[in-house]
Amino acid sequence: MKKLPVSLLFSLLLYPTVGHLEEKPVDLSLGKTLFNQSCVKCHGTAKKGAPRLGASEDWMGRSRDVDVLVSNVINGSSHMPPKGGTRSDSSGKLKAVVSYMLSTVPKQETAATTAPPEKYKTLAEGKKLYNQLCYSCHDNGENGAPIVGYMPDWENRIKLGKEALVQSVIEGKGMMMPKGGGGLESRAKYASIVDYMVAAVQDKELANSPEMKAQVKRSKEISNGLRLYNQVCFSCHNTGKHGAPQLGNKKAWEARRKQDIDTLVKHAIDGHGMMGEKGGSAIKSVEGVKSMVMYMLSTVDD
């Protein structure tokens, strides 16, 4: 109890900039190492809306309180597995990673100065639902789904008007089942997703944001990979023939995906076990093979 006034004084003096003084300073270099091991696969590419390192716009509206963020990571969210997919049982380690992540976001962009404009709050709701219900096709163009953020896929559809697009979702269209396969009752919720999808190509700020650009780049790569995959790789990887790790089978990929993507790509190019060079395809470019591997990995995402 004797100590209380002192630490209270410190907190009062330092809280706005430093916070939690009682604890040891966090090890940012440990945080960086752990980040590159466990978090970069989503947080490096804005996958499913993961806020990226150093991108202040991605952190808009999120808490800057390390402890709040750590507890959110421990609990996980719709597209982040609990503990960010790590087995770490030390919240100290997660604190080091989160502190490292926050250290890359420019200081002046504090929560107070980046309160999101009203528009983004509405779009954020649509985006959240999109990331739960619709991304599996609209991120990669599966079955000809228009890719979110990619204008050529949306130009003609937008001309139908927003109401007609919402109606397509409710009734289903082509290869898209009614309600896009989602089980929501409220039409307004689907309308909010369509708002987000339309804004992703039409709203200049959102469409030109680095986050959207990164997402579209990744989507285009994966959709290209999907197309190439369906020419050659499917013959073994759809069924698991010859012991090939099967598409969408998390267990089959669990150990393999711990290798970094470049190693997987190298194995696909050089051949591996029962798989011949380049998986038997005539493809020449490393980027082409990489896009196929990216697509394959995207089917075993959490």
**What is the pattern of x (binds ligand HEC, CB under 6 A) and - over residues 237-256?**
x---xxxxx----------x
Residue from 95, 139, 212, 278 in contact with ligand HEC (CB under 6 A): 278
Q: Which stretch binds ligand HEC (CB under 6 A): 2-10, 103-111, 193-201, 206-214?
A: 193-201
Write the CB contacts of 164 (distance below 8 Å, at least 6 apart in sequence): none
Residue 300 as a binder of ligand HEC (CB under 6 A): the answer is no
Residue from 149, 190, 214, 216 in contact with ligand HEC (CB under 6 A): 190
Closest to 194 (Cα-Cα) out of 217, 218, 167: 167
CB of 8 to ligand HEC, least distance (A): 28
Residue 290 as a binder of ligand HEC (CB under 6 A): the answer is no
Query: 13 or 271, CB closer to ligand HEC?
Result: 271
Please count the other Cβ atoms lying within 10 Å of the Cβ belonging to residue 95: 20
Residue from 157, 217, 218, 220 in contact with ligand HEC (CB under 6 A): 157
CB of 6 to ligand HEC, least distance (A): 31
How far lies 3's CA from each of 15, 17, 161, in Å? 17, 22, 65
CB of 192 to ligand HEC, least distance (A): 9
Q: How many residues bind ligand HEC (CB under 6 A)?
A: 80
Determine contact, residues 9/2, Cβ cutoff 8 Å.
Answer: no
Residue 8 as a binder of ligand HEC (CB under 6 A): the answer is no
Please count the other Cβ atoms lying within 10 Å of the Cβ belonging to residue 119: 13
How far lies 219's CA from each of 38, 47, 141, 268, in Å? 21, 10, 8, 21
Q: How far is CA 161 from the centre of its chain?
A: 29
Residue 149 as a binder of ligand HEC (CB under 6 A): the answer is no
The one-letter amino acid code at 88 reads S
Q: Which stretch binds ligand HEC (CB under 6 A): 9-17, 21-29, 114-122, 179-187?
A: 179-187
Residue from 279, 294, 298, 300 in contact with ligand HEC (CB under 6 A): 279
Determine contact, residues 210/55, Cβ cutoff 8 Å.
Answer: yes
Dist CA 145 CA 149 (whole Å): 12
Residue 199 as a binder of ligand HEC (CB under 6 A): the answer is no
Dist CA 192 CA 248 (whole Å): 29
**Using CB under 6 A, which residues numbered 257 to 276 contact ligand HEC?**
259, 264, 267-268, 272-275
Residue 86 as a binder of ligand HEC (CB under 6 A): the answer is yes
Dist CA 105 CA 143 (whole Å): 38
Residue 122 as a binder of ligand HEC (CB under 6 A): the answer is no
Determine contact, residues 30/93, Cβ cutoff 8 Å.
Answer: yes
Dist CA 297 CA 237 (whole Å): 12
Residue 96 as a binder of ligand HEC (CB under 6 A): the answer is no
Residue 49 as a binder of ligand HEC (CB under 6 A): the answer is yes
Residue from 97, 199, 200, 226 in contact with ligand HEC (CB under 6 A): 97
Residue 143 as a binder of ligand HEC (CB under 6 A): the answer is yes
Dist CA 62 CA 41 (whole Å): 20
Residue 232 as a binder of ligand HEC (CB under 6 A): the answer is yes
Residue 3 as a binder of ligand HEC (CB under 6 A): the answer is no
